[in-house]
Amino acid sequence: AESVRLAVTRLHFQDVYVQRAVPEDATAEGMFVWDVQATAALGFSTHLFATPLTDANINVLYSTAGDTRAWAENVDLGAVGEIGGTFSLTYDGFQSPQILPNATADDLAGVLNAMPGFGDVIVTREGPFYDSGYTWTITFQGVEFDIPELVANVANLTAVDPVLSVIELQSGAEAEVQEISFVGNDGDDVVCEFGGDSATITAGTDIATMTNALQTIDGIGEIGLTRSLVVGAANSTYTWTVTFLTLAGDLANLDCDSGAVVVETNAGTGTPLGGTFELWFGASGTGPLSPTVTSAQLDAAITAAAGGSVSVVEITSGVSHRARAWDITFDGVGGDLPLLVADTSLLTGTGTSVMVTERTR
């Protein structure tokens, strides 16, 4: 179940929960059924395609209304069909030319190398697979920061529910990782401080509870947490590994009491997000905006620049933990409007960018 959960998570699904069981009508030893509950990230497919065990069928996981539950069903290979048409990739506001779904590694490398900001890329390709799809692995050389993920545009692909997912295999900037070691017993409390704020974690509690507790520390951002336990005769040794997902740079260590020892196992790299950006509506600008700008502040700034009321709502579902996104509706300005133009010349940080796309005319 954990292997399936990790695989589904890597396909841009969130809140993934998996249970494995032996079906009541199992006809052979080793038959299993997986109950997958997940939420699809914004902009990504709600269908999961599993590698088939034979050429005769493909196992497909279809999500139900609300994209919160899935079940397995067999589909004939012929019903899936060949993938045709073209796709494109967008990076930092620049869209690539159309790319064939069976593009060679050299073809894709040529397209990406012609786009600004990439330096030099190396591409390898695997496939074709049972559904006539391919996997391309792209290595960005000469780029010394964590670039935003490429955005896949699949509107021109032809197939049954074509899917093109972009997954970051290795970040260009390394995350800070710290290890907390504590000797004690289940139920013992440990208070950890970071940046002047603190939280209490309790030995023996589950990972989700401990993660939520640490994330109440002001300024710590989002973290990933794993744990290990060595049981002793009188006391046990608890080891918690904390990965800082949203803070860049080499961070100060957590300071924990109760004799807990904190060791930095990987120093973070990169520069934290800072500075300001500005949005322009024609010749009118919003003035400098902080990366921490609230929806109300952004609403007021764009309303003043556009000369008519707008509605700004921050998007929280399906957005990368390294990004923020807003939906902006020009309800007081008529017509097909030009895109807002982002000025990021005063924005600081590793791999920073601001992209504006039109959702509805």
Give the full edge-to-edge strand order of the sheet including 189-194. 197-202, 189-194, 255-256
Domain-wise residue ranges, the chain: 2-79, 84-158, 176-266, 274-348
Q: Model confidence at 255, in pLDDT bands (50, 70, 90)?
A: very high
Q: Model confidence at 115, in pLDDT bands (50, 70, 90)?
A: confident
- Indicate yes or no: pTM above 0.75: no
Q: Is the CB of residue 330 less than 8 Å from the CB of residue 308?
A: yes
266 compared with 37, residue with greater pLDDT: 266
> For 77-97, what is the mean pLDDT?
73
> For 238-258, what is the mean pLDDT?
91
CA distances from 91 to 78, 95, 165, 177, 203 (A): 34, 6, 14, 28, 44
- Tokens encoding 153: 């545009």
pLDDT in tens, 140-169: 765 555 677 788 888 898 877 777 888 776
Burial code of 75-88, b = ≥16 C-beta within 10 A, e = fewer? eeeeebeebeebbb
pLDDT in tens, 277-287: 999 999 999 99
- Tokens encoding 110: 């040529």
Question: Mean pLDDT score of the chain, rounded to an integer?
Answer: 79
Q: What residues contact residue 290 under an 8 Å CB cut-off, 6+ apart? A: 276
Whole-angstrom distance, CA of residue 321 vs CA of residue 110: 30
Per-residue model confidence (pLDDT) at position 228: 93
Q: CA angle 189-192-198, nearest 5°?
A: 110
Cα dihedral across residues 195, 199, 201, 207: positive or negative: negative
> For 237-261, what is the mean pLDDT?
92
